[in-house]
Amino acid sequence: MPQYRNVILTIVPGNIIQEPAEGLMTLINSSGLWLGGVDGAIQSVAGNQFHQQAAQQITQSTQIHQGMVIFADGTHIHHNGAFRHASLLSTISSFL
């Protein structure tokens, strides 16, 4: 299995919104637009809450630069792939 520092990366074919997971990491561009592909699938289940959190962070920092991380909390999403704040934050911290 591919590993980077303390993070093991697993590629699983299938539907991301049906995959049990502790966290999801996805790309966002400097304009805060992330509506297609994986992000569109996440939004179809979670609604607009992640976009709202990202927009608030972009407004506070005015720009997103390479290497920056926006953490959007998904602790209250109750679906098969719901993830927990602490696990995701720990993973992001150890990855960086």
Q: What is the pLDDT along the chain (96 residues), one digit of tens a residue?
A: 666 677 777 777 877 777 776 666 676 655 556 667 777 777 777 777 777 776 776 666 566 666 666 666 555 544 444 444 444 444 444 444
Q: Give the Cβ contact number of residue 51 at 10 Å.
A: 19
CA gap 89, 58 in Å, rounded: 19
DSSP state, 75?
Answer: T
Domain boundaries, the chain: 3-95
Residue entry with tokens 């991301």: 16
CA gap 45, 50 in Å, rounded: 11
